[in-house]
Structure 1
């Protein structure tokens, strides 16, 4: 990528923006803003902050991340997982919502952003490659289920406390199903019907926005029937104020471990979402650019009273499914949030929560990649097991922990496969030939040594033409086997060894005296 794009990555796509795409992105951004407003307020309260700080986090960091990131559809902002971790990290140090608490949260957010930006600067974004496609499919499916289950109480008009996992939330929901508020269910049903109808009959129109408007109008026109339907809470609006961060050494040292953990959590979450969306839209994702963009967003955001932001599955999926044509849709979303915060706080209070829940359910349905799941089942049952494990982890564990569980499962399956490289066995006269396809590394040494020792031929010939890598453990194992066979008046011969592998084998001290033989 050219150097100017490294500094200003938005120059890659900005020249392709047209008046038509600008209008489309502005409309998509409006839909995203309506969804972001109530969510942001709720997440701020979870983090122990005043409600308006959730809105601040949905403005400046979102603009910076969209312009300096790589994903065409990723939209960030406050998230539930990060809000929970922030509260757990800072609440022991200061009273929630107090000025000291707010100052510590903003400092923590800045430190996490600095850590993220440094990772991007050092080009460590490739670490996300350890998140396999099977993990992404499982995480996407699980996240869709978690988000959908979390919205069912709002759809039914129930006021239930949030739970740490989807399983606990489902059990709590089951205990209160008989208390469903049927006017709320009716509003949700109308919203779903309008959204599906508009998508089917007029696919170019903003179906989700029109559906929210229909649900809101129903409640407004029939107050006698729908007066008790819960609506978004009203709030006092203002633009994000400037904040002076307090960099005292004691606070920095105290918050540093939490900053590293939150920085990693934010990146893993954001990059998982960005990769899942890029897979669906066939976009080429510049991972290091995205990491730097996320870090820069969280470096700049705290100066505008924004706490740590990360990618949002719900808002990003809505952005993609609504037809966003460029990252300007995310920028417009942030600007619409700012305008609503300043001028439209009272209007937002007329949006019924069941209508919001219905829209989110439709978004969750679009996240499920059924063709991808079928293809995974046909191609690899082991990878399908990784997907299923990741999905189950999202339901049984906290969402961010599920990603780590899926990555660990992928690595374990990978190590299991590579620890048993493919072997072909044949005889050339009285000599036995072992053809190895794979790497000779510490995990595969025992497997290969067992096959070498099982041979009774006068000479064991290892055809290493397809061996690209050997580590220290592999070098030692082959030298040991050569000496063992030498004591039995037999020989170990390496044939068609690649130059790099041969060079590694000859580095071992005493290699000149070893009876290991090479043959072209």
Structure 2
């Protein structure tokens, strides 16, 4: 009934606001989608696939008018953590694992939603979630240094192991890659601070592609994205095996819960400002269907994005139509404009990732917790260092168990 009323009240002024917000989201999600695909260990086009079908499904089923569903940094790293132990990144077997993982995440969220288990997030304290997010953000930044330095990585996801790996390859650093990646990162951070409404990542991509073409940097050892297949994602059922399910189940549960918590927190923050309700169980079902249906179209696991949802709201987005228009825009890019990204350097995608996650490191939260409730402060510290040193697949579990 409410949806019917929303459709009847939709007018030209609302369409204009949604259209403007969708354009802002489009120039944001295209570079982010490809960057987070790099982080997840899959081809860049899969990042664009993950920014289309799941977004459309959520627009049909979700309770938030502003939540922007698609690839996000932490979930992408969790995908790499889950699958890299069983297959080499970007291989056919790896991609199949990732698609199965998306289906499992979606099914878990859907079943939790049907079982009205939205209350489950209350069992993971804010201190654990904050510390885990901060530590994973640091690991994400460290994991991209190999692309900024132009060296090969062994795929370690513990802070000390990453630093040791990079240190052992000091003599292999490519100066052109370092210069290009560093300048791109500085440009993005400067533009975000000086003119936050400008599409800084997209501008960095355009300038970097121009530099590679005109200076021939690919011949100097700068790694580029290369050919991105044009066309829409093809429908195909995931090829599931019993061993895949057993291997992926622990991380699928973590991704399902983390994705739900992240989506719910940003969705509620915006809905309070706009005076409407976001329903946890409906969100679980909507995210579950987004991931499940997305897996049929070669998407990796997704959830609501803090940054893109905030931008959608700030840009004047009024309804879910903004997300629908954004997804349609990505589909048009997939059909006609993928060749434009052939010379896109991996170093710039790494710079985009680092610029997107560094603000997630929240040490002030730990100081606040020690002032208010010291035990929660120690929970924060334990979770933070367990995630950095033991591994991101164990950090949140160790923190939650210690709290209990």
TM-score (norm 2): 0.79
Secondary structure of the structure 1 residue equivalent to 2:92: coil
Q: 1:140 aligns with which of 127, 133, 139?
A: 133
Is contact 1:10-1:67 (8 Å) kept? no
Task: Give, in angstroms, the shift of residue 302 of structure 1.
Answer: 3.6
Residues in 1 aligned to 2:398 and 2:10: alpha-carbon distance in whole angstroms: 38
Is 1:297 the counterpart of 2:290? The answer is yes
Q: Which residue of 2 aligns with 1:366?
A: 359
1:266 to 255, 258, 262: 255
Quick check: 1:142–1:395 contact (8 Å CA) kept in 2? yes
Kept in 1: contact 2:54–2:291 (CA 8 A): yes
Q: Does 1:319 align with 2:308?
A: yes
Structure 1 contact 60–306 (Cα < 8 Å) conserved: no
Distance 1:87 1:158 in 2: 18
1:231 to 220, 224, 229: 224
- Aligned-pair distance for 1:346? 1.9
Aligned to 2:40: 43
Superposed, 1:1-400 pairs within 5 Å as 17-40=14-37, 43=40, 45=42, 55-65=48-58, 67-70=60-63, 72-73=66-67, 75-77=69-71, 79-82=76-79, 84-85=81-82, 97=92, 102=96, 109-110=102-103, 112-223=105-216, 227-243=220-236, 261=250, 263-275=252-264, 277=266, 286-303=279-296, 305-306=297-298, 309-311=301-303, 316-320=305-309, 322=311, 324-325=313-314, 326=317, 331=324, 334-400=327-393
Q: Deviations over 1:87-117 (max 9, x none)?
A: 767x7xxxx737xx95x87667545533321
Change in Cα spacing, 1:21 to 1:378, as seen in structure 2 (3 Å) is farther
User: CA 1:189/1:253 → structure 2, altered by over 3 Å: closer, same or farther?
Assistant: closer
C-alpha change, 1:322 and 1:286, in structure 2 (3 Å) is same
Displacement of 1:127 in angstroms is 0.5
How far off its partner does 1:129 sit? 1.2
Superposed displacement of residue 24, structure 1: 2.8
Greater RCO (Cα-Cα under 8 Å, separation 6 or more): 2
Q: Distance in 2 between matches of 1:176 and 1:254?
A: 35
Q: 1:378 to 1:66 in 2, by over 3 A?
A: farther
Q: 1:169 to 1:66 in 2, by over 3 A?
A: farther
CA shift for structure 1 position 390: 1.6
Gaps of 5+ in 1: 412-520
More helix by share: 2
Change (3 A) 1:171 1:192: same
The answer (yes or no) to whether the contact 1:190–1:214 under 8 Å persists in 2 is no
How far has the Cα of 1:281 moved from its partner? 5.8
- Check conservation: 2:105, 2:301, Cα contact below 8 A: no
Contact 1:74 1:273 in 2 (8 A): no
Which structure has the greater CA radius of gyration?
Answer: 1
- 1:150 Cα deviation from its structure 2 partner: 0.9
Using a 3 Å threshold, how does the CA distance of structure 1 residues 341 and 23 change in structure 2: closer, same or farther? same
1: CA distance between counterparts of 2:137 and 2:143? 10
* Number of aligned residues: 386
Q: Report the TM-score, using the length of structure 1 for normalisation.
A: 0.63
Mapped partners of 1:121, 1:135: distance in 2: 26
The structural deviation recorded for 1:184 is 1.6
Q: Is the 8 A contact 1:62 1:330 kept in 2?
A: yes
Q: CA deviation at 1:157?
A: 1.8
Q: Deviations over 1:465-504 (max 9, x none)?
A: xxxxxxxxxxxxxxxxxxxxxxxxxxxxxxxxxxxxxxxx
Cα RMSD (Å): 3.8
When structure 1 is superposed on structure 2, of 80-89 and 230-239 the one drifting more is 80-89
- Could you tell me how far 1:10 is from its partner in structure 2? 9.2
1:62–1:156 Cα change, 3 Å:
same
